[in-house]
Amino acid sequence: MHEILFWIIIAILVLDFLFEKYLDYLNTTRWSDTLPEEVKGIYDEEKYKKQQAYTGENHRFGMLTSSFSMAITLGMFLFYGFALVDGWVWDITSSAILAAIIFFGILMFASDLINLPFSVYDTFKIEQKYGFNTTTPKTFIFDKLKGWVVSAVIGGGLLALIIFIYQKTGNMFWIYSWIVVSVFSIFMAMFYSNLIVPLFNKQTPLEDGELRDAISAFSEKVGFKLDNIYVIDGSKRSTKANAYFTGLGTKKRIVLYDTLIKDLSTEEIVAVLAHEIGHNKKKHVIQGLIIGLVQTGIVLFIFGLFIGNPVLSKALGVDEPNFHIGLIAFGVLYSPISFFTGIFMNMLSRKNEYEADRFAAENYKPEALGSALKKLSVNNLSNLTPHKLYVFFHYSHPTLLQRLAHLKQFE
């Protein structure tokens, strides 16, 4: 039975990879040497050629990195690399909790080191070439080091607690683990910007002036209490601009990239924030959190049914079942289910984006939001003509052209 399960795992990995490459290929069929009619007025000829070159270079680089990653992953399964690492950790400790932490620590650290040259090339070659990168080598190195520490503390701590719960509660571990993960998720939703973001970026309250007055006036108009408006130093790493809404209750805040303030006018920034406020007013933030918690509960329940099954471990070449090996096998086997839930979540997300756009258009200025979206897309060299199937499977937002068409009805 474990041999059949092994080949099912291999088949899932290969089919997923081939499907992703097919979607990537479909996108290449939309490339053009001349400016397409539908993007005229957004891109000019010169900027469009630059965008196509950027898209093409990222595509080729992505093909290389994903193929390399796939080869490593297949090698780990075909040559029982996970069993090898599992043997190492049990030579070090007899504790299941410590063994799991060391096991995943080795895998993640090794993966990060193997992919480090690709990350360096992407940041300091491709992004630099097209004028996006502002990351210094020092920032890059410290980001890596801090990322490892945060992953070790938070990821390792949560994993240790879940295994401890499993040891103490057996088949009922999924319920208690679900409670723990839910509390942690809510806590992070509230305090992520206070605890994690400051480790990597500086956030400062938006200064008094025209922009803050305009944001406050709009917030008051739509009955949205917003005292926490912050500017984040996104320019520390990239020229690309963004804005996001974070937090719950009294901890909610709007975060603006300093690059956004630099690139957009006051009206355009308020329009972008109107969109973000629309997400909150339409309860999208709470909706996403609840759906995420329900999905986590379902995953933990299904995992709880299989975790003690020796077939999972034997499929990876380990005779004695254990938590971390079972988790690796289960993660691959569950991926077809997560594939379909991902499609549903993207469809829901695109629907929510339209609703947030509608809120901004009805309560502020649709032309200002449209102008902001155009500027952001052009400045980021976004692909405006992706293939419909790629959009269906991967886009959490409608395309720019779809959003502009939707906003037209409100002008």
List the catalytic residues: 276, 357
- Angle at which helix 266-281 crosses helix 210-221, to 10 degrees, equals 30
Beta bridge partners of 232: 203, 257
Place of tokens 């607690």: 161
Q: Work out whether the CA dihedral 100, 103, 104, 106 comes out positive or negative.
A: positive
DSSP for 367-387, written as a single string: HHHHHHHHHHHHHTT--S---
Tokens of 338: 């997560």
Q: Work out whether the CA dihedral 335, 339, 344, 349 comes out positive or negative.
A: positive
DSSP for 141-180, written as a single string: HHHHHHHHHHIIIIIHHHHHHHHHHHHHHGGGHHHHHHHH
- Say how far apart CA 20 and CA 14 lie, in whole Å: 10
Using CA atoms, how far residue 45 sits from 40, 56, 57, in Å, is 9, 16, 18
